[in-house]
Structure 1
Amino acid sequence: MQLKEYIAQNLNQEQTAAALHTDTSSLIIAGAGSGKTRVLTYKIAYLIWGLNIRPKRILGVTFTNKAANEMKERLIKLGEEINAQNFSDDNLSIEEKKVEESDSGFGDFFQSVENKKLPQISLDARQLKRIGTFHSIFLKILKEDIEHLEKKYTKDFAILDADDSAKIVRDLLKRFALTDTFKPQEVKGFISKQKNEGRTAEFFLKYANGNYDESMGKLYQEYEKELEKSNSLDFDDLLLLPYLLFQKSPEILRKWQNAFDFILVDEAQDTNWIQFELMKLMSGNVDHPDQKGANITLIGDDFQSIYGRRGALMENFLNVKQYWPDIQMFKLQTNYRSKPHIVAAGNEVIKKNTKQYEKNIVAHREGNDKITIFTHPSDTDEAANTVEMIKQLKEKGKIRSRGQIAILYRTNSQSQNFESLFVQEGIPYKIFGAFKFFERKEVKDILAYLRMINNPFDSVSLKRVLNIPNRKIGKTSLDRIEEFAVDNGVSLYETLKLIGELGNTKTIEQESGIKLTSPAVSGIQDFLTLFVGLQESIKTLNPADLLEYLLKKINYKDYLLKEEGSEQVAEEKYDNLGQLINMASKYDFGASNANEEVVSSGEDLLRRFLEEVTLMVDMIESSDENSDAVKLMTIHSSKGLEFPVVFIVGAEDNIFPLANAMLEPKTLEEERRLMYVAITRAKDVLFISHANQRMTRGQLKMNPPSRFLEEIPNDLCKFYDLSQSRAGAVSSSITEGAIVRHKLFGQGIVLEIWNNMAVVKFDNPKFGLRKVELKFLQEC
C-alpha cells in the first residue's frame, strides 16, 4: 500500500484532496466539526513521509498553545502508525528526493529508496519545534535577530505579561498627572492597537492630529522608553518587532523565507493586520514578487470569525486570491460532531450573513431530534429551570456525568444566577476563562521573583516583590526611590544598589537626596543580599529546584498564612506553586525540553522556562467530560470545544446580540457568527432560553427574544413557554420596604415586587441588588 492510499482510507474525499495538494498554495475552508485538525495533521505527515520535507522546514502556526500541542501529539502518533505500516511508494527516487543524512530520523533514507519503502522517521516534540503560536514562532526569530533592530534590545530580553505592562501605563499616568484624563485600559488598548497595525510611536506622532492623538502618542513613546530601559518587550512586540525587522532588513527576511518550504496557518480567519502581513512576508506573494517564499496553506472558517473587536480582519480570509493568485480552494463541508437538527439550525442562522464563502454543511450523524427553546418570566426563572433540567438529565441517565454539559452565555455577568443555584443545590460547576492559573497572585509573585533574577532591570517585577514578604519598605519610600531613578535616568535596581552601598539613612539622604526610614534601608539591604544569593543559585540549580529554594528562602508559606488568615486557603495557594514547579521540572541540565535543544546553563534554562510561561496566556483548565462539574463559559471561551449537551442562555436582543452590535450591519453579522459558534458546540442536545425580563446593572429590563431565534425554522424546534404558568403563582404577604432574609444572600430590603419576583438590596455588598423569587424570602 502507498501512503496516498492510506491517507485516502482515513479521510473523506474533500479532506484527502486538501491534505494531498502541494503544487500551489491552499485555502482550506473547514466548517464546524469537519475534521480541521485531522486534515492539517495528515497534510504535514504527507509532507514529511510522502515528499520527504524535513520537519524543521515546515512552519505550523496556531492561535493557542492547546492547538499547537494537540497538533504535535497527533502528528507523533500518526507518524508511529505510518512507520508501522512499512509503506511502499513507487514514486520515490534518489534523484527526486535529496536529504541530508545528518538530519535526525533521515539517516536510512537512501537505503529506503532502493527498497521502494518510505523512510522510518521517528518524530518527537523537539523536531516539531516549528509548530507553535504566532507569538512563540516569532519569539524565536527575535531571539536570533533582535540586535539588528535600531532599538537597544539584547537577546536576553524579558517578556512582560498584560498585568505588568498595565502597571507601567498606570505609573506613566501618575508621573505625568494624567490619571483624571485617561484610563489605564484606554491607553494600553490604544498602544496595543497601534502595534497590531504596525505603527511605532514615532510613526504615529508624525501624523498625529489634535491634542488627544498627541497625548496618546507621547504616552506610547514614554511607554516604549520604559520597556527599552528594562530590556523588556510586551506581548504585542513579539509580532511588531519581527515586522519592523523584516521591513528594515531584506537580508534577514530572505533568511527566514528560505528557512521554510511550507507554512500552514490554523484559524486563519482570525488573523489581525500584523499577523497577516507577517504571513505574506514569510510566504512571498503578489506584494513582494521579488521575494520567493514558502508554499502556504491557510485553514479556517469564515462562519466562525468572532474576534473582530480584537482586531481580526475576516476580509483578509475572504480576499486571499489578491495575495496568492494561484491559491487552490478546498471546502470541508461534512460535520462529524453534531446531530442533523443542530447542523441544520446553524446553517439556517449563518446563511443570513452576506459577506462569506458559500458552503452547505451536512451532518454525517443521523437523528431526528429537535432543539428545545424555553421562554421564562425572568432571568432567575431561567437559571432555576436550567438547573432543574440538568438534575433531570442526570437522574434519568441521559448523561454519564454533569461534565458533559456546558452553559454558554454572551457576557460574564450572566453566570451569577447559575452559580448561586449550583451552590444551593450542591451541584459542582467550573467557570472557564474567569481566572486563569497565571493570573493568580501567588503565581505572579513567584514568577516576578524569577523574572527579576533573570533580568534585574525588569523594574515592574522588582517592584512587585521588593516588599514580599514584608520588608518594611512602604509606599512612600518606594515612591522616593522611583522618583530618584526617573530623575537620574537609572533603573530601579541600580538605585537600590546605590542605597545598599551608602548604608545608612543619613548618608543616603546626603548623597542622593532620598529620605528613607532605617527599617526601609534594612529591608532593602536584606533584599539585595537575597538577590545576590539567588543569582548565584541559578548557576547550579534548574528552574524547579530554584523555585523550591526560593520558596523556602523567603518563607512564602508563612507569608501566605499571615496574608490569608486561613491555613486551608494558604495551603491551596501554596499547592498552586507546586503545579508551577511541576511545569518547571522538564527544564533540566542535559535534558531536552518540549520545544528546544539540549541546554546546560542554569541561566538559559530559567530564561527558556520564563519564555514558555509568558506565552501560555491561553492556558485553561481541561474540559474533561468525565469530571462531574457543569461547565460555565462565555461563547467566546467555548470556541474550539464541544459538548454532548449545551444550554445557550440569555438569547434576547440587547443581550445576544448586544445592543450596540445591532447598530451596524458588520457587527451584527459577527454576533450572528457568534450564535453559529454557540449552536455548533452541541453534539447531541441543544437548549436555548430567553427571559421576558432581566436584571441588568441593577435595573429590570424587558428584552424581546433574540432575532437569531427567528432565523431557526420552527420544524427544527420544540417550544415551551413557562412565562404564563409561573406568573402570579406565589402568594406572599411580603410588601415593598419589607426586611427579608435569604438563605444564601442574607438580610436585605425589598425595593420592588412584580408578580412572584422581588428586587432586594442585600446588606452584604458582595451580593448587592438582586432579583429573587418570593418563595425564597422570609420576612424578618
Structure 2
Amino acid sequence: MDVTPILENLNDAQRQAVTAPAEPALVIAGAGSGKTRVLVHRAAWLIDVEGLSPQSLLAVTFTNKAAAEMRGRIETLLKLPVQHLWIGTFHGLAHRMLRRHWREAGLPQNFQIIDSDDQLRLIKRLLKNLEIDDSRWVPREIQWFINAQKDEGLRPQHLDDEGDADRRQMISLYQSYEEICQRGGLVDFAELLLRAHELLRDNAELLSHYRRRFQHLLVDEFQDTNAIQYAWLRLLAGDEGVPFVVGDDDQSIYRWRGARVEHIHRFQKDFPGTHVIKLEQNYRSTATILNAANAVIANNSSRLGKNLWTEDVTGEAIRVYSAYNERDEADFVIGRLRDWIDQGNARADAAILYRSNAQSRVLEEGLINSRIPYRVYGGLRFFERAEIKDALAYLRLISNRDDDSSFERIVNKPTRGIGARTVELMRSYARANACSLWRAAAAIASDNLNGRAANAVNAFMSTIERMARETKGLDLHDQVDHVIHASGLVDFFKKDKGEKGETRVENLLELVSAAKSFEPDPAEEMSPLDEFLSHAALEAGEGQADAWEDCVQLMTMHSAKGLEFPLVFMCGMEDGLFPHQRSIADPHGLEEERRLCYVGITRAKQALYITHAEQRRLHGMDNFSQPSRFIAEIPEEHVE
C-alpha cells in the first residue's frame, strides 16, 4: 500500500502523531504547528492504512466550520466520501445521540432545542409566574448559575445550599426551570451535553454499543474542554477506546467559560500508557516572534513545556512603542498602518488586538478620521453596541422628549414593569392623536392604565425629568456619567455575571471618556450634548467595511485565537489592563493572562508592534500606568 499521500509533507513529529499505535495519545500542538493537518491525516491513516471503517471513528471539533473543513480535507486526502464518520462539535454529537435515543433519554421525540436568548426568556417567564422580583433575582444571573451547574454535571438534587438562603433560592429556581423544560420538551445547550452524558452513564447496553462502535476518539482543542465534556469523553472511551486528543495548554484562555486546562495535565493519569507527542515546529511566524513568545510563556509554572522553533528567517525585531496617551498610541498605530498600505500590502493583512472591547473606541475614531476602512471581528463597532445605544437613547430623550425611537428603546430598560401591552397602548394613542409616545404615555398613565402600570410609567417619566434637571449646567462628560448611573444601566449590567456584563460596564464608562475627549465646534449652533449625539450617530454609520472588503481587522485577544496576520499590533500593554487588574493578585488568573499574551504574539507572521501608554483615559477615568510585565519578559535582543 502506498502511504505517501498521507505522510508526505509531514515533519517527523507530525508523522509520529499520525502513525501512533492504537493507544491513548496526547498531542501537544504549539501555535502554527499544523494540528489540523495532523488530525486529518490521522483519520486518513486509520481508515486507509489500519483498515478501520469510518464509522468506528468519532471526531470532535469546537466549531461547525472546523468540523466541515476537517471532513472535506479527509475526503480530499482519501479521494472518497466518509459519510459514516461522526464528526462535529460536542453539542452537535450530543444532539445526534439524543435524537436517536430520545426515549431512553427521557425526552419527547420532537424535543426542541432552545438557544441562549430563548432560555433567558423562559427564565423571565418563570420569575413572572412565581411573582419573583426580577430586579432582585436577575434573569441572567439565574441563567449563568443553571448553565454553570450543568457544565459541572450537577442537577438540582446534587446541590447543597450550604446554609445560604440566596443559594437555596437559586437551587429552587433551577429545579422549577428543569420542570418547565421537561414538561415542554425543551433542551438548552448545556442540557444537550449533560443529558447525553447521563444517557450513556445510565444505559449500560447503549454505552457498550457506542464503545464497540467508536474505537478511536479524535478531539481537537482539547485544552478548551469543560468538566461535562471531559466526563463524556472518559465515559465513551472506557478502558478499550483509543482517545487521540490534540491541544495546547499554553493556549488555554477560556477559564471564565468553564474550560479546564488541567484536563491536559490529568489525561496521562486517567489514561495510563499515554503517548505524549509535541509539535514544536512552527510554520507561521519568524524566529524572533517565536523566541519572544517562548520567553513569555516560560514564566508560567503549570505547563507541560515545549519550545516553538522555525526553519524560517529570523525576521525583524519586535517594535515596542511607549505612547504619551491613548490618542498618541492610536496615531502611532495608524501611521504604521499607512506605511504598510503605501508599500502595497493589503489592509486585511493587518490586525489590531486589544484586551478590552472598550479600547476599540479611540482606535476606531482614528481609523475613521484617516479614512482607513476597518472591521471589528467577532463584535460590533463601539457606537453600535447595545449598551452604548441604550445610554445614547437616554441622553437623546433628555434632550428631546419627542424622540420616539429612543423612548421605545429604553422605556423598560432596565426592566421596570412596563410590558408590551402598555407600550402598544401608547403606540395606539400616539397614532390616534398624532402625538409623540412621551405625550401618549403621560395621557394614558392618567386615564387608561391600572395602578401598577401607571405607577411604572410615571416613575420612568419622572426619572427622565429628574435626570434632565440634574444634568443641566454640567460639563458634557459629567452629564453622560450621571445618566449612565442614574438610569440604572451601570447597576443593571453589573448584575450580569461573567465577562459579558463586565465588558458592558466598561463600555458605558468608556462613553464617559468619549464625551470627555469630545471637542465641540464653536461654529455649531447646538448644545454640546446635541453635538455629541450627532457625532455618535455619524460615527456609528462610518468606517465599518463590508466583510468582503479589504479592511484592517480589529479584535480582542480572545477573538484572535486561531487567526494569523502578517502585521499585528498589540495595544494597551499596561499592567492593570493587560494583565487585567482582577488577575494580578490571582496566580491562576495571571497565568491565563500570560497565555492570552502568548496567543496574541503568535498571531503575527512577519511584524509585531507592542504599544503601551503612560496615561490612558479608559472607562471614564484618567490612569497613569506601568508597561505590562509581559513586555519585560521578552528578551532585549528581540526588541527594538
Return the TM-score normalized by structure 1: 0.60
2:281 is matched with which residue? Answer: 334
- Give the superposition deviation at 1:228: 2.1
Per-residue displacement from partner, 1:32-51 (whole Å, max 9, x unpaired)? 11110011111100111111
2:618 is matched with which residue? Answer: 696
1:164 aligns with 2:118: yes
Match of 1:243 among 192, 197, 202: 197
SS of the aligned residue for 2:88 comes to strand
- Give the superposition deviation at 1:344: 0.4
Alignment of 1:468-617 (within 5 A): 475-476=420-421
- Give the superposition deviation at 1:208: 4.9
Per-residue displacement from partner, 1:512-543 (whole Å, max 9, x unpaired)? xxxxxxxxxxxxxxxxxxxxxxxxxxxxxxxx
Letter in 2 for 1:283: A
Match of 1:195 among 121, 130, 150: 150
Asked if 2 retains the 8 angstrom alpha-carbon contact of 1:30 and 1:331, the reply is yes
Alignment of 1:123-138 (within 5 A): 123=81, 126-128=83-85, 130-138=86-94
SS of the aligned residue for 1:357 comes to coil
Asked if 1 retains the 8 angstrom alpha-carbon contact of 2:26 and 2:276, the reply is yes
1:177 aligns with 2:135: no
Q: Quote the Cα distance in structure 2 between the aligned partners of 1:369 and 1:427.
A: 25
Asked if 2 retains the 8 angstrom alpha-carbon contact of 1:142 and 1:155, the reply is no
Q: Quote the Cα distance in structure 2 between the aligned partners of 1:226 and 1:414.
A: 41
Q: Structure 2: which 5+ residue stretches go unaligned?
A: 387-418, 425-544
2:255 is matched with which residue? Answer: 308
1:209 is matched with which residue? Answer: 163
SS of the aligned residue for 2:217 comes to strand
1:706 aligns with 2:628: yes
Asked if 1 retains the 8 angstrom alpha-carbon contact of 2:218 and 2:245, the reply is yes
SS of the aligned residue for 1:320 comes to helix
Change (3 A) 1:76 1:212: same
Match of 1:297 among 228, 244, 258: 244
2:77 is matched with which residue? Answer: 78
1:272 aligns with 2:272: no
- Give the superposition deviation at 1:434: 1.1
Q: Quote the Cα distance in structure 1 between the aligned partners of 2:162 and 2:125.
A: 23
Per-residue displacement from partner, 1:666-696 (whole Å, max 9, x unpaired)? 1100000000000001111111101111112
SS of the aligned residue for 2:306 comes to coil
SS of the aligned residue for 1:41 comes to helix
SS of the aligned residue for 1:51 comes to coil
- Give the superposition deviation at 1:477: 8.6
1:146 aligns with 2:102: yes
Letter in 1 for 2:168: E
2:40 is matched with which residue? Answer: 41
Letter in 2 for 1:702: F
Match of 2:314 among 349, 352, 367: 367
Q: How many correspondences in the alignment?
A: 487
- Give the superposition deviation at 1:247: 2.4
Asked if 2 retains the 8 angstrom alpha-carbon contact of 1:339 and 1:365, the reply is yes
SS of the aligned residue for 2:606 comes to strand
Per-residue displacement from partner, 1:379-403 (whole Å, max 9, x unpaired)? 1221122112111111123x2x100
Structure with the higher fraction of residues in helix conformation: 2
SS of the aligned residue for 2:303 comes to coil
SS of the aligned residue for 1:22 comes to coil
1:222 is matched with which residue? Answer: 176
2:405 is matched with which residue? Answer: none
Letter in 1 for 2:274: I
Return the TM-score normalized by structure 2: 0.73
Asked if 2 retains the 8 angstrom alpha-carbon contact of 1:657 and 1:672, the reply is yes
Q: Quote the Cα distance in structure 1 between the aligned partners of 2:599 and 2:338.
A: 26
Asked if 1 retains the 8 angstrom alpha-carbon contact of 2:226 and 2:260, the reply is yes
1:257 is matched with which residue? Answer: 211
- Give the superposition deviation at 1:139: 0.6
1:19 is matched with which residue? Answer: 18
- Give the superposition deviation at 1:180: 2.7
Larger Rg: 1
Per-residue displacement from partner, 1:475-516 (whole Å, max 9, x unpaired)? 34999xxxxxxxxxxxxxxxxxxxxxxxxxxxxxxxxxxxxx
Per-residue displacement from partner, 1:626-668 (whole Å, max 9, x unpaired)? x411111111111111111111111011111000101111110
Q: Quote the Cα distance in structure 2 between the aligned partners of 1:435 and 1:259.
A: 44
Per-residue displacement from partner, 1:709-755 (whole Å, max 9, x unpaired)? 0000111011xxxxxxxxxxxxxxxxxxxxxxxxxxxxxxxxxxxxx
Per-residue displacement from partner, 1:413-468 (whole Å, max 9, x unpaired)? 111111122222221111111159xx999xxxxxxxxxxxxxxxxxxxxxxxxxxx
Q: Quote the Cα distance in structure 2 between the aligned partners of 1:154 and 1:387.
A: 57
Per-residue displacement from partner, 1:90-142 (whole Å, max 9, x unpaired)? xxxxxxxxxxxxxxxxxxxxxxxxxxxxxxxx215x344x1111100111011
Q: Quote the Cα distance in structure 2 between the aligned partners of 1:167 and 1:195.
A: 19
1:734 is matched with which residue? Answer: none
1:392 aligns with 2:339: yes
Q: Quote the Cα distance in structure 2 between the aligned partners of 1:179 and 1:146.
A: 34
Change (3 A) 1:364 1:70: farther
Letter in 1 for 2:608: L
Asked if 1 retains the 8 angstrom alpha-carbon contact of 2:359 and 2:618, the reply is no
Asked if 1 retains the 8 angstrom alpha-carbon contact of 2:321 and 2:611, the reply is yes
Asked if 1 retains the 8 angstrom alpha-carbon contact of 2:324 and 2:615, the reply is yes
Letter in 2 for 1:697: H
Letter in 2 for 1:649: C
Q: Quote the Cα distance in structure 1 between the aligned partners of 2:616 and 2:140.
A: 29
Change (3 A) 1:208 1:250: farther
- Give the superposition deviation at 1:222: 1.5
Asked if 2 retains the 8 angstrom alpha-carbon contact of 1:265 and 1:299, the reply is yes
1:683 aligns with 2:630: no
Match of 1:378 among 311, 325, 343: 325
Per-residue displacement from partner, 1:281-340 (whole Å, max 9, x unpaired)? 01014xxxxxx4x21101111110111111111111112121110111111110011001
Match of 2:188 among 234, 237, 245: 234
Asked if 1 retains the 8 angstrom alpha-carbon contact of 2:197 and 2:232, the reply is yes
SS of the aligned residue for 2:32 comes to coil
Alignment of 1:762-777 (within 5 A): none
Q: Quote the Cα distance in structure 2 between the aligned partners of 1:659 and 1:412.
A: 15
1:402 aligns with 2:347: yes
Q: Quote the Cα distance in structure 2 between the aligned partners of 1:165 and 1:249.
A: 28
- Give the superposition deviation at 1:146: 2.7
Asked if 1 retains the 8 angstrom alpha-carbon contact of 2:64 and 2:88, the reply is yes
- Give the superposition deviation at 1:171: 2.7
Letter in 2 for 1:75: I
The root-mean-square deviation of aligned C-alpha atoms, in Å, is 2.4
1:51 aligns with 2:6: no
Letter in 1 for 2:365: S
Letter in 2 for 1:236: A
2:448 is matched with which residue? Answer: none
1:715 is matched with which residue? Answer: 637
Q: Quote the Cα distance in structure 2 between the aligned partners of 1:231 and 1:8.
A: 48
The structure whose RCO (Cα within 8 Å, separation 6+) is larger is 2
- Identity of paired residues, percent? 38
Asked if 2 retains the 8 angstrom alpha-carbon contact of 1:208 and 1:217, the reply is no
1:431 is matched with which residue? Answer: 376
Letter in 2 for 1:384: D
Asked if 2 retains the 8 angstrom alpha-carbon contact of 1:24 and 1:328, the reply is yes
Q: Quote the Cα distance in structure 2 between the aligned partners of 1:392 and 1:284.
A: 57
Q: Quote the Cα distance in structure 1 between the aligned partners of 2:547 and 2:60.
A: 23
1:631 is matched with which residue? Answer: 553
Asked if 1 retains the 8 angstrom alpha-carbon contact of 2:375 and 2:547, the reply is no
Q: Quote the Cα distance in structure 2 between the aligned partners of 1:17 and 1:27.
A: 12
Asked if 2 retains the 8 angstrom alpha-carbon contact of 1:31 and 1:361, the reply is yes
Per-residue displacement from partner, 1:595-641 (whole Å, max 9, x unpaired)? xxxxxxxxxxxxxxxxxxxxxxxxxx9987xx411111111111111
Asked if 2 retains the 8 angstrom alpha-carbon contact of 1:144 and 1:155, the reply is no
1:356 aligns with 2:310: no
Q: Quote the Cα distance in structure 1 between the aligned partners of 2:339 and 2:584.
A: 36
